[in-house]
Every structure is written in C-alpha cells, then in structure tokens.
Chains A and B, each alone.
Chain A
C-alpha cells in the first residue's frame, strides 16, 4: 500500500464556515537557469502549492516522471487518464485548489479530453501537463503524436505548446494563474520530450499576459442600479449558480439573502451556496428541468431575478421566450460573455461574485415581502419533492433520503449522470459550498467515482460518498483498483435499477416505451469491488437499508454498496424540452 493521504486538513470548518480560500502561489524560487525543463516544471508545481498530482506515465513524459521521483509531491497513479482528469477535477471542486494531472502524449492526452471537457463546461480550475513528441518530430506523424493543442482547444480555457525551454517557467506559472482566476477553467500545457530535458539558459519566468485582465470589482453605477432594483422589488428571487461556489462567495450570498430577505434558488452547480437547513425559510432548492415546483413557480412569478454566477443554461430556463416574463433581470458574472448570451439582461454587473456581493450588501434594505413569502409557502407545502413508498422495494429517492439523515447532510457527495444525479440534487439537503460534486454542463457519465476519489484525497477528514448509477459507474469502475491500492475511503452507493434510467425515462415518456439499448445486464458490483481490494455490500430489502448505509460508512477504506432499487421510477417534476418553466409534469407528485 502506498503512502497515506498527506494533504492538509480540509479548509472547510465544521462550524458552518464557507469556501476555503483558494491556494495562493508561494514565494518564487530563485533562478531557473541551468535546470532542465522537467526540474523547472516541478519547482513551479511546488511554488504553486501543488500537493498531489493524478496521472499516468508514458514515453513522451518520462523525463518529467523522472523529476517526480523523490519530489515533495504525492503522485496518484490512476487506471486511465480520464480517471486522472476527473480526480484532479473532483479534488479541485472539493478543495477550491487547482487540480493537476500529468499524462503522456497521443493516447494519454486523448484519453484526458473527456475530463477536460467536463471541467471546462463547469469552469473548474485544473492544469493538465501532457507529454509531446520531440520538437523535431512534431508534424511528422511520429509515434504517439497527436495535435493535442488542436484537439483540446475547444475544451480548455487556454492551452499552449512549449517550444522553447526558456519559456517553460513563465508558461507553467501563467497556466496556474489563468486556471484559477477570472472564470476558472482547465489549462493544458503540452511539453515536448526534448523541452523537458533541455537546460534553461535565460528568462526570468515572469508572467506576461497583456490580454488577460479579469475584472474583480463591479462597476459602482451598475451595483447601485442593482441595489435599487432589489429594494424596489416585491417578488425578488436570487438565482444562484456555480460561480458563487467558485468565487467563495457563499457567506456574502447568505448575508445578502438574509439582509434583503430574498428567497434563493440554486442551480445544480450552485447547491450548497445556501444552507438549506439553517436558512430553510429562504431556500427554494434547485430550479430548472428537474428543479422544485416552488422554485420554478417563484422564478416565473418573480418581478426581479438576481442571477449570481449562473449562466442561464437551457436546463434551467426552459423555453426562453417565456422565462421569468415579469422580471427585471440583474446578472452578476465575472465573464462578460455569459451576460445577455441566452437571456437579455436589464442590469449587468461584470465582476467577481464575492466582491460584487460585498459591494451590494450595504446598499440593500430589509423588506418584509409578506405576501411573497406566503405565496411561496403555499407552493412549498403543496408541491414538495416526494415519492410514494412501495412495500418490498427500495425506492431510489429513499436511499438518498436515508443517506442524508444518516450523514446529517454533512458528507461530500459526488454523482454520476442520470436519474440518480437528479434525485441526489433533490433529496439530499445541501448545507455547505463544495459539498456537491457533479458534472452539470457536459453531463459526463463515469465522472462521479473518480471525482469522489479526488475529493477524498483533497479532504481526508471528510466523509465522501459517491451516489452513482449502475450505468455511470461502469464507465470508470476500473478506478476501483486505484481506490483499492491507495485505500481511498470513498463510499460508493450504486442506485442499481438495471437501466440507464434517465434515457429509459425519456423513451418511456417520448418514445412509447420502446426501450432501446437501455437495459443493463450488470455484474455483481459487490464481487467486483472485492476483487479490486475494496469492500462490497449489497441491499435489496428496504428494511435493511438504514443498516446497510451505516455499515458502509463504518467500514474503513473504499466500499461499494449495491442498492437494488425500483427499476422504472421516474424523476419529477420535469419540464419537457420546449416547455416553459412553470409547465411541469408532476408525475402524480402533486
């Protein structure tokens, strides 16, 4: 067994603290002159506070792996580069630090692209270092050559091929800076083998980014206009997204919601920005396609929608023409291109969510809004998230309910993609930012398990649970070997419905139940887990469910709990494609 996780204690305190402060670069080393590219790379990784690297070796990256030998950085060998990328991403989402992955050229880099795309769509800061064939061989269809900068351009915030070793320190520093600032995202540095070996002759490694100036503070005039609109509103709603989590602005958001007395709905990626238990009166839970009825009604009835770090995704807005038809829309976002992209905005404020909310806070006033909260209360009471228990069958929603109760809503939860993901969003109660780790934008099945492993390595003192689908889990369950080897204590609960449930639901509702390629003949997940050096558990009877969950949590090391759940349960509410947000199918819920 390899070394135990040696990451620092998690930055989130149990006392309801919010986001950790993102890592900041340490003091720069002296000169790089005389060092090899690979050595300089390692120096910069240390300078940037990198504690752990996820990756996989290969020919074109060998000099860098040689420099990693004995370096003060933990290396986690995954079983596929995709897993390494998702682990770096999960590590980043859980800790707020930049995740790092190092892989080889050609197939190593192409295997990584899904993970890059996943991180890119959700604005997750990551740095990927890929080996590349020697500069002299580039363009010759050399062994394991791929135009990685070309392949990954659409799925990275920035990428660059290092041609001259003297530029390497500067480029790697820029990579970390670009990844973690502004609208965060993955950055890829492609390192030819000879560049890793060559000795640095000159250059001071100072960053030079004349075109990169992300805005932090909001324009005071716009902030004032936003405050006026908020103070004048009768039916305001805060629509909060992943940007608030990324910015570490949850505390400011909670203060704003309390001070101005505004209900808060969060996107899938914004879950945890508000404490749904402590601030239960303000919490509307998730909105959108599978959001709560009360959140969707509130948005549609609102006269002032305050979007913070959210990007008006089509899963959220439903039919654009009738989205929040009566609302004046305020949009706070660090990325100007997010503003007025899908929905025309009345008061745009470009800036970092934390800074802008702090500016806004002194300008807003408390309002009773008695009628508004009464109306919301009625909706909440009449249309709660719900399910009907069925004797002898475990309902998937029930599993999440139970996990929530047993973990007292304190676990870090990762998910795959599908119905189980939506039920997790609906039925777990979110209290902390960085608590929910899920692929929203790309919707990458197979994300949950490796992301949970990365999160567990970043937060060794936290309980990390991956609530997964049988389909999703099988896309990356090779990482059970990683979990087994390093004894990473992730608890996996598979909501095993023997279907690709989400696709089945669509085939049921929109394709007359013509189930095509959605039935899953699954292995025994418990046996699979055991074979990989993890613990395997199974549960079929609802009576045994609480004990099975407790046992899973109490068992040290990685555990897989195969929970056999009802096969044909559907996720409701549901806003069908092309419908307005308030035109929900309730599936007998109401």
Chain B
C-alpha cells in the first residue's frame, strides 16, 4: 500500500467534483485528501488527490479518472519527483509563559505565528505531509484548540518536466497466475 499523489486536470464545469468524488465512492477507492484550485487557464481546474492503495487499485483509479469525460489529463506524481506542499493552520493553547517555547519550535519548522491571543496562538506552516504531521504531534502536549489543513498540492519538479517522462510504473501484481492450479493440484478436465 503506497501513497499516491494524482494530479487531475479537469474542465471547469459544474458537477465535475461531484462526479470524481462519486466515482471514488462508488468503486470503493480511498481519498486521503483532495484539493481543487484554478489553473493558469480559466477553462481548467486542477485537482490534487492523495490516495493509498496497491498498484492494481491505483491503476484502476487512473483509468477510471481518465474515463470521465470532463477529465482532461491524469498524472500520477508519485512515480516521479515532485514538489508537494500541505498548508497547516493550527491554534494551540498557549499561556504567555509558553510563548517563547512555542515560538522556538515554530522557528525550527520554519512556520510563522500569524495570530496571538491571551491564551492561544495561531501558527501557519507549509511543507510536505510528514513534516506537518511531525509538527502537529509536537503541538499536541500544549493542547490543540483548532486545526485545519489544505491537503497536499503538488507539481512535478522543474528538472523532471524538462526531460520528460517518468520511470516506468511498477509491474502490477498478477491476480491470476499462469501457474495457478485447482485445489486438487492440477487442472482436471474430462477425458478426451
């Protein structure tokens, strides 16, 4: 089970999000996160979907996405190098005597304090998911009052886009194997 970041370019039309979300639900695929945003072209939006599953499942997800008429392009970014970012806004319980301690922690993670109240602060942090998760864990002992994340957005690395293709996708697991036999050992067909 591997995490996959799938970038989906879609026509900017009503119902596209419902269609994609519905397809995931109907076919029992997971969505860990889904982000929709505009692109450089007003006709299209980009969705970045994070999903986990084995290779055959991910292959089906890609193909089923490709079948949706309003989906223009599907790209699995996990097969290639990409820049991925998640944005976290977290409100942490913070009495005045803890401010410097949390401020320090924030600096280590290159986050920034974007709001300060009498007994809590709001921190903003961007980065790949694991960094965000590590930071959230460190905040937990202080008391998290509210937390919101955008989910991952991603683009291929510049060096990667230029020289084109990604490495070949990993070989699928064989569901049926040429060596499969019946429970009794070999396939028993009636006599000739």
**Chain A residues within CB distance 8 Å of chain B:** 149-150, 153-154, 157-158, 160-161, 163, 178, 209-212, 297, 300-301, 320-328, 335-337, 340-344, 374-375, 378-379, 382-383, 580, 582-583
Contact = CB atoms under 8 A, between A and B. Distances in A.
A158 B63 contact: no
Given A153-B18, A211-B73, A336-B66, A341 B60 contact: yes
A565 to B, nearest CB: 30
B18 A325 contact: no
B11 A337 contact: no
Given A211-B71, A300-B187, A160 B15 contact: yes
Interface in B166-192: 172-182, 187-190, 192
Nearest to B65: A337
Contacts of B22: 153-154
B69 A211 contact: yes
A323 B192 CA distance: 20
B67 A335 contact: yes
B47 interface: no
Given A341-B60, A344-B176, A325 B26 contact: no
B14 interface: yes
Contact of A322 (B18, B64, B182): B182
Contact of A158 (B60, B69, B182, B192): B69
Given A582-B187, A582-B189, A325 B176 contact: yes
Contact of B176 (A210, A300, A320, A378): A320
Contacts of A375: 192
Nearest to B61: A337
Given A211-B69, A211-B72, A337-B64, 9 more contacts: A161-B14, A163-B14, A209-B69, A320-B175, A322-B176, A325-B176, A325-B178, A337-B63, A375-B192
B175 A322 contact: no
25 contacts: A153-B19, A157-B69, A160-B13, A178-B69, A209-B69, A210-B11, A211-B11, A211-B69, A211-B72, A300-B187, A300-B189, A301-B187, A321-B175, A322-B187, A325-B182, A337-B60, A337-B63, A337-B66, A342-B175, A343-B175, A344-B174, A378-B192, A582-B187, A582-B188, A582-B189
B56 interface: yes
Contacts of A580: 182
B101 interface: no
Contacts of A328: 178
Q: B interface, how many residues as a size bin? A: 35 or more
A325 B71 CA distance: 37
Contacts of B67: 335, 337
Interface of B: 9-11, 13-15, 18-19, 22, 26, 56, 59-60, 63-64, 66-73, 172-182, 187-190, 192
B175 A211 contact: no
A163 B15 CA distance: 12
Contact of A212 (B18, B69, B176, B190): B69
A83 to B, nearest CB: 27
Nearest to A326: B178
B56 A340 contact: yes
A12 to B, nearest CB: 31
Given A320-B176, A336-B66, A379-B190, A149 B72 contact: no
Contacts of A154: 22, 26
B90 to A, nearest CB: 35
B69 A326 contact: no
Nearest to B72: A211
A339 to B, nearest CB: 8
Nearest to A163: B14
A204 B29 CA distance: 39
A583 B64 CA distance: 33
Contacts of A320: 175-176
- Nearest 8 pairs of A and B residues by beta carbon: A337-B63, A211-B72, A158-B69, A325-B180, A344-B174, A344-B175, A336-B63, A210-B72
A340 B63 CA distance: 11
Which has the most chain A C-beta neighbours within 10 Å: B13, B173, B177, B192?
A: B192
B23 to A, nearest CB: 8
Which has the most chain A C-beta neighbours within 10 Å: B13, B19, B172, B190?
A: B190
Contacts of B177: 325, 344
B187 A325 contact: yes
A518 to B, nearest CB: 30
Nearest to B186: A325
Nearest to A379: B190
Contact of B181 (A209, A325, A327, A383): A325
